[in-house]
């Protein structure tokens, strides 16, 4: 008799919690998506469907899985040890290094490609160094336009997902469990395998799913670094929709891509179902300096790997923005080489009096506004959804994958959907300034949910009950039990939604407003024209983007530092 | 306690940032209704275009003043993306005027009946070669040629003769020296493929590409990579002294040099049939709210001041022969004598199958 009202209260709770996230995602994601698919269906019925299925569907599908699998594996191999080192060990420069590892995430791919080119290109540092050392006349390393370039770039982009998501879980992991296993006679390896990893499994799985989906829907990296012989589903969708106007085929491809995302998400939920509970620790008392030789080797190896894979392309980019890069000038006198601030100075000059000149300060401001709005939107909705998911209702199993789908949706398709649906007031891009951060939040939200969820699940009910029994109100329980445990995960979510917004993504080019240019918009304007000054300014603007992002993340981490010893 | 406060603090700071910054945004709607004097409220004209569009502030300000109008621009990606946007929003047009559809995409726009005819009085000044649409649904504004750019220094150092025709490129002495863009992903890449179709015909172009491939042709996906990574004359100092770019690129190199140049490091190969001519059009969108002003704006675009502004803003050529070219164009930008030409209908009918066949022959 007593249980009936209890259930209905749970349902009521679920209803309240789900309302905002579902309305949001329904209106801003499923509505445009359904609109575009409806149109595609109409066109298909009217014009018929023509496509070489093996060539246009089979080949990209196979390649997409192949490269995403390989990329995720490599990212895992680099990312998990790095997460461990960042979570457990203290070393000099750790905070800065962690911020640096997050920066690749914000880079527009055209800029990342420039960074890789400065490093690995035919006249990149690596080749120049090798040619100098071994007296070669031809560049020995040909990485660009190979599968290798795609893999390296994916590791570059996504390692931070492991460092942040798994790292934050690892930092909260109760070291005493492992110690107990050791005391009971388990080897270090066995303790890791049988105690630590199973307990970390939810966050490792979540990070792997996120990384795989990012690789799976990869567009710019494959297009710019992989070259023309490789095409993922997303690349093929872009070609079919934008250049060949074959909407039926583009529609079919994006339906396949989303179906795969859905299956992966469901599989992930199944795998995650039986995961053990992680008992949280708020104080990072287990962070220490590496002591044994093995530990020191591990820490150094991780630092070097991170520096080479993640930081060096950024450094190459930054350095190039201060370096004169004039082409060979033949008979026109000697070329001045050396360092210069010319590209930065030129950013502030509207040399051609163009109506579309982008003042750097304004671009930085606009980018920061959009990013801050994205953080607020996706954290608010993410918290609601994470709590709703905690309620162990059957409907959750259905709703969870629906929330993840934006990660796997084709940006091109979604962008076209935006055009169809959001083209008149009050929701047109022209008079609804929030549309841009909302679009960014669609991609950021699954991320935030995936980082909050494991943290929330780790809070033992006993802890809450104890607080309640001792007289704490529900809101006080939330503030003093939930929040301290979730703060770390919330920060991870905030950093990622911030960076996702700063870097922008494909669908938003349809929503951009020339009067509010962002930093990536400015970068594209420069890099799409010839001339040393244009290229230099594109790199200078990108470096500015990196600096702004690094500063913002440092500030975000700083704000919540008091009270939490080590983060 | 501290932890809770500080988390709240971030949210508050972020919310504050958002509010503070959203306010001025909300205060600047597309039509600045409040700011205008009550008696002569400016009309609104919306122009949809691609990301490469640029114009001098003064040129637009003058039109706005003379006609008491406020122009807003809607930009969305490259030519294909912008055209897609116009087509998908056809039933509730987002703009009055669309600028930037080119002859490779023109048929697509005409098929879906995107534009209203407007036979501007200025059309008669424009040479017939730029006017493929007899019904004046679209009007030509500018043109540019997609040509192979070459590294002058490289050819001088190696004492190498310049290729005089497309067929010359298959000669052994140019082995591994050319990089082109993928026609499926790049607009200049497509234009160059079209040039080869025009030159060798539908029967012969694939044989030419086979020979090019055997001559170590390099293919990349986008213009940026070709120019900044592969081109030996750009700042990337790549491995290829010849890449597919624009006839005006050598002039742009001079304009945007880091230190003043007295000559361009690059030039274009403008032999017969080697370049493909891209013409860009403007049109009034069906259902435009302000047709009278749209007509005026199109006239303004075809008139001399706007036409003379375009070369240094977008590095294209004016179609109005009365417009004078800037000196840097006269000096460093070359116009081919006999550019390759295909009609928009031929392009529309062949594009997809040419690209697919090209893909099989060159990439697989």
Tens of pLDDT, residues A54-81? 778 899 999 999 999 999 999 999 999 9
Contact at 8 Å (CB) between A533 and B257? yes
Residue B322 lies in a domain: yes
A528 vs B126: which has the higher pLDDT: B126
Write down the H helix ranges in A458-531. 461-469, 474-477, 483-503, 519-527
**Class of residue B337 by CB neighbours under 10 A (exposed 0-12, middle 13-18, buried 19+):** exposed
Q: Give all strands (DSSP E) within chain B, no chain letters.
A: 43-49, 69-75, 97-102, 115-116, 139-151, 178-181, 218-220, 242-246, 266-269, 276-285, 317-318
Report pLDDT digits (tens) over A181-214.
888 888 888 888 888 888 888 889 989 998 999 8
B359 and B215, same structural domain?
yes
- pLDDT above 80 for A164: yes
Q: What is the rounded average pLDDT of the residues A517-537?
A: 86
CATH of the domain at B252: 3.40.190.10
Judge whether A392 is closer than 8 Å to chain B, CB to CB: no
Judge whether A535 is closer than 8 Å to chain B, CB to CB: yes
Task: Using the structure block, give the residue that is written with the tokens 């500015």.
Answer: A544
Residue B239 lies in a domain: yes
Q: Which helix (H) or strand (E) holds A369?
A: helix A360-390
Q: B351 vs A244: CB contact, 8 Å cut-off?
A: yes
Pairs of CB atoms within 8 A across A/B: 260
Indicate the residue of A430, A487, A529 with minimum beta-carbon distance to B7: A487
Q: Which helix (H) or strand (E) holds A89?
A: strand A89-90
Q: B185 vs A243: CB contact, 8 Å cut-off?
A: yes
Confidence of residue A171 (pLDDT cuts 50, 70, 90): confident
Confidence of residue B2 (pLDDT cuts 50, 70, 90): very low
Partners of residue B185 in chain A, C-beta under 8 Å:
223, 228, 235, 238-239, 243
- pLDDT above 50 for B1: no
Token pair of B95 as six digits: 């703009």
Output the pLDDT for position A383. Answer: 93
**Strand B97-102 to B43-49 pairing:** parallel
Q: What is the rounded average pLDDT of the residues B283-306?
A: 96
Is it true that the peptide bond before A541 is cis, omega within 30 degrees of 0? Answer: no
Partners of residue B233 in chain A, C-beta under 8 Å:
327-328
Angle at the Cα of A82 from the Cα atoms of A442 and A559, rounded to 5 degrees: 55
| CA–CA gap between residue B315 and residue B297 (Å, rounded) | 21
B272 and B135, same structural domain?
no
Judge whether A59 is closer than 8 Å to chain B, CB to CB: no
Q: What is the rounded average pLDDT of the residues A164-174?
A: 82
| CA–CA gap between residue A442 and residue B14 (Å, rounded) | 19
B153 and B86, same structural domain?
no
Report pLDDT digits (tens) over B316-339.
999 999 999 999 999 999 999 899
DSSP A89-130: EE-TTHHHHHHHHHGGGGS-HHHHHHHHHHHHSTTSHHHHHH
Q: What is the rounded average pLDDT of the residues B164-186?
A: 95
**A387-421 burial, b if ≥16 CB within 10 A, otherwise e?**
bbbbeebeebeebbbbbbbbbbbbbbbbbbbbbbb
| CA–CA gap between residue B265 and residue A361 (Å, rounded) | 33
Question: CA nearest B232: which of B165, B172, B167, B179?
Answer: B179
Phi-psi region of A119 (alpha: psi -120 to 50; beta: other; left: phi over 0): alpha
Partners of residue B229 in chain A, C-beta under 8 Å:
113, 117, 121-122, 144
Q: B233 vs A327: CB contact, 8 Å cut-off?
A: yes
Query: Does the interface ipTM go beyond 0.90?
Result: no
Token pair of A153 as six digits: 């770039």
The mean pLDDT of chain A is 84
- What φ, ψ does residue B228 adopt, rounded to 5°? -90, -20
Output the pLDDT for position B39. Answer: 53
Q: What is the rounded average pLDDT of the residues B89-101?
A: 91
How near does any CA of chain B get to the CA of A189, in Å? 35
B355 and B232, same structural domain?
yes
Domain that holds residue B244: 146-277+341-363
In a 13 Å sphere around the CA of B178, the CA atoms on its Cβ side amount to 30
B98: helix, strand or coil: strand
Write down the H helix ranges in A391-434. 394-408, 411-421
Token pair of A225 as six digits: 């670094």
- pLDDT above 60 for A392: yes
| CA–CA gap between residue A500 and residue A503 (Å, rounded) | 5
Token pair of A98 as six digits: 């962690």
B310 and B216, same structural domain?
no
**Class of residue A273 by CB neighbours under 10 A (exposed 0-12, middle 13-18, buried 19+):** exposed
B248 and B155, same structural domain?
yes
- DSSP class of residue A332? S
Output the pLDDT for position A5. Answer: 60
Judge whether A452 is closer than 8 Å to chain B, CB to CB: no
Q: What is the rounded average pLDDT of the residues B143-152?
A: 96
Residue B97 β-bridge partners? B47, B284
Minimal Cα distance from B183: which residue of A?
Answer: A243
**Strand B69-75 to B242-246 pairing:** unpaired
Q: What is the rounded average pLDDT of the residues B82-102?
A: 90
B254 and B152, same structural domain?
yes
Token pair of B278 as six digits: 């891209």
Residue B245 β-bridge partners? B147
Which positions 341-370 of A are in contact with B (Cβ < 8 Å)? 342-343, 352-356, 365, 368-369
Mutate to test the interface with A, among B258, B267, B311, B332 (most CBs of A within 10 A): B258
| CA–CA gap between residue B355 and residue B192 (Å, rounded) | 11
Partners of residue A228 in chain B, C-beta under 8 Å:
182, 184-185, 219-221, 363
Task: Mean pLDDT check: name the lowest of A29-33, A503-507, A528-532, B16-20.
Answer: B16-20
Mutate to test the interface with A, among B156, B191, B228, B356 (most CBs of A within 10 A): B228
Residue B20 lies in a domain: no
Q: A428 vs B363: CB contact, 8 Å cut-off?
A: no
Q: Which residues have a Cβ under 8 Å from the Cβ of B50 and sit 6 or more positions away?
A: B75, B76, B77, B78, B79, B81, B82, B100
Helices (H) and strands (E) in chain B, counts: 12, 11
Contact at 8 Å (CB) between A71 and A151? yes
B139 and B51, same structural domain?
yes
Q: What is the rounded average pLDDT of the residues A345-374?
A: 89
B325 and B244, same structural domain?
no
- pLDDT above 60 for A139: yes
Going from the C-alpha of A541 to that of each of A317, A355, A393, the distances in angstroms are: 11, 19, 48
Q: A510 vs B77: CB contact, 8 Å cut-off?
A: yes
Indicate the residue of B3, B108, B185 with minimum beta-carbon distance to A245: B108
Tell me yes or no: is domain A11-46+53-327+367-559 CATH 3.40.50.300: no
Confidence of residue B252 (pLDDT cuts 50, 70, 90): very high
B139 and B243, same structural domain?
no
Mutate to test the interface with B, among A33, A53, A243, A280 (most CBs of B within 10 A): A243
Q: Which helix (H) or strand (E) holds A289?
A: strand A288-289
B286 vs A275: which has the higher pLDDT: B286
B237 vs B310: which has the higher pLDDT: B310
User: Cα dihedral sign for B174, B175, B181, B183?
Assistant: positive
Output the pLDDT for position A278. Answer: 56
| CA–CA gap between residue A502 and residue A108 (Å, rounded) | 9
Q: What is the rounded average pLDDT of the residues B130-155?
A: 94
| CA–CA gap between residue B348 and residue A306 (Å, rounded) | 49
Residue B210 lies in a domain: yes
Number of domains comprising chain B: 2
Confidence of residue A562 (pLDDT cuts 50, 70, 90): very low
């Amino acid at each position: 008799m007593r249980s009936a009202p209890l259930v209905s209260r749970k349902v009521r709770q679920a209803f309240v919690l789900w309302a905002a996230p579902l309305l949001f995602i329904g209106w801003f994601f499923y509505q445009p998506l359904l609109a575009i698919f409806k149109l595609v269906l109409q066109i298909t019925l009217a014009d018929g469907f023509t496509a070489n299925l093996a060539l246009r569907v089979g080949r990209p599908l196979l390649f997409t899985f192949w490269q995403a699998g390989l990329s995720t594996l490599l990212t895992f191999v680099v990312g998990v040890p790095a997460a461990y080192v960042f979570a457990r060990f203290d070393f000099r420069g750790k905070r800065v290094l962690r911020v640096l590892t997050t920066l690749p995430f914000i880079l527009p791919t055209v800029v990342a490609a420039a960074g890789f080119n400065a490093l690995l290109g035919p006249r990149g540092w690596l080749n120049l160094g090798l040619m100098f050392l071994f007296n070669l006349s031809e560049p020995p390393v040909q990485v660009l336009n190979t599968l290798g370039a795609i893999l390296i770039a994916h590791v570059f982009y996504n390692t931070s997902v492991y460092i942040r998501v798994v790292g934050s879980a690892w930092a909260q992991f109760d070291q005493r469990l492992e110690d107990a296993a050791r005391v009971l006679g388990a080897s270090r390896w066995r303790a890791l395998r049988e105690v630590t990893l199973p307990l970390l499994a939810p966050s490792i799985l979540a990070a792997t799913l996120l990384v795989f989906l990012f690789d799976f829907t990869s567009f710019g990296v494959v297009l710019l670094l992989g070259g023309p012989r490789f095409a993922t589903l997303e690349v093929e969708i872009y070609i079919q929709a934008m250049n060949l106007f074959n909407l039926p085929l583009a529609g079919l491809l994006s339906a396949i891509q989303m179906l795969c995302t859905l299956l992966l998400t469901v599989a992930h939920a199944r795998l995650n179902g039986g995961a053990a509970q992680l008992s949280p620790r708020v104080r990072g008392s287990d962070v220490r300096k590496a002591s044994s030789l093995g530990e020191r080797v591990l820490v150094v190896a991780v630092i070097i790997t991170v520096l080479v894979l993640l930081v060096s392309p950024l450094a190459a980019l930054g350095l190039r923005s201060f370096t004169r890069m004039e082409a060979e000038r033949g008979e026109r006198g000697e070329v001045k080489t050396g360092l210069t601030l010319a590209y930065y100075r030129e950013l502030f000059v509207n040399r051609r009096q163009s109506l579309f000149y982008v003042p750097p300060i304004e671009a930085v401001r606009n980018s920061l506004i959009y990013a801050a709005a994205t953080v607020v939107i996706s954290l608010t909705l993410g918290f609601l959804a994470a709590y709703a998911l905690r309620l162990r209702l059957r409907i959750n199993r259905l709703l969870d994958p629906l929330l993840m789908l934006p990660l796997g949706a084709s940006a091109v398709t979604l962008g076209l959907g935006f055009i169809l649906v959001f083209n008149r007031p009050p929701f047109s891009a022209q008079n609804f300034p929030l549309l841009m951060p909302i679009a960014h939040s669609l991609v950021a939200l699954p991320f935030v949910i995936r980082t909050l969820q494991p943290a929330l699940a780790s809070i033992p009910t006993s802890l809450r009950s104890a607080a309640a029994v001792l007289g704490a109100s529900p809101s006080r329980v939330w503030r003093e039990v939930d929040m301290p445990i979730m703060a770390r995960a919330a920060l991870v979510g905030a950093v990622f939604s911030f960076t996702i917004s700063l870097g922008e993504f494909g669908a938003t080019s349809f929503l951009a407003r020339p009067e509010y240019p962002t930093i990536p918009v400015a970068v594209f304007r420069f890099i799409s024209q010839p001339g040393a000054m244009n290229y230099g300014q594109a790199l200078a603007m990108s470096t500015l983007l990196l600096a702004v992002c690094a500063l913002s993340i440092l500030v975000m981490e700083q704000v919540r530092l008091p009270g939490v010893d080590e983060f | 306690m501290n932890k809770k406060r500080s988390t709240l603090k971030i949210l508050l700071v972020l919310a504050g940032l958002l509010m503070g910054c959203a306010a001025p945004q909300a205060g600047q709607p597309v039509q600045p209704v409040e700011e205008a004097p009550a008696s002569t409220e400016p009309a609104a004209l919306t122009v949809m275009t691609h990301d490469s569009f640029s114009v001098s502030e003064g040129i637009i300000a003058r039109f706005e003043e003379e006609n008491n109008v406020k122009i807003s621009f809607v930009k969305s990606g490259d030519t294909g993306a912008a055209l897609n946007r116009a087509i998908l929003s056809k039933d509730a047009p987002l703009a009055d005027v669309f600028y930037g559809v080119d002859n490779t995409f023109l048929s697509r726009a005409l098929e879906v009946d995107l534009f209203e005819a407007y036979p501007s009085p200025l059309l008669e000044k424009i040479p017939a070669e730029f006017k493929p649409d007899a019904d004046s649904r679209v009007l030509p504004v500018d043109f540019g040629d997609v040509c192979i750019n070459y590294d002058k220094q490289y050819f001088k150092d190696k004492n190498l003769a310049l290729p005089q025709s497309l067929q010359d490129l298959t000669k052994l002495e140019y082995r591994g020296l050319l990089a082109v863009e993928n026609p499926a992903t790049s607009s200049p890449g497509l234009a160059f493929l079209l040039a080869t179709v025009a030159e060798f015909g539908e029967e012969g172009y694939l044989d030419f590409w086979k020979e090019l491939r055997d001559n170590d042709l390099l293919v990349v996906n986008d213009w940026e990579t070709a120019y900044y990574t592969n081109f030996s004359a750009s700042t990337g100092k790549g491995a290829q002294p010849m890449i597919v770019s624009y006839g005006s690129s050598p002039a742009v190199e001079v304009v945007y040099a880091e230190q003043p140049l007295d000559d361009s490091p690059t030039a274009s190969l403008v032999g017969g049939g080697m370049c493909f001519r891209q013409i860009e059009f403007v049109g009034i969108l069906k259902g435009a709210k302000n047709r009278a002003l749209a007509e005026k704006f199109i006239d303004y675009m075809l008139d001399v001041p706007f036409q003379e502004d375009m070369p240094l803003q977008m590095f294209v050529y004016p179609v109005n022969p009365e417009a004078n070219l800037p000196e840097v164009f006269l000096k460093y930008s070359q116009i081919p004598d006999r550019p390759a030409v295909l009609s928009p209908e031929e392009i529309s009918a062949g594009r997809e199958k040419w690209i697919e066949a090209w893909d099989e022959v060159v990439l697989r």
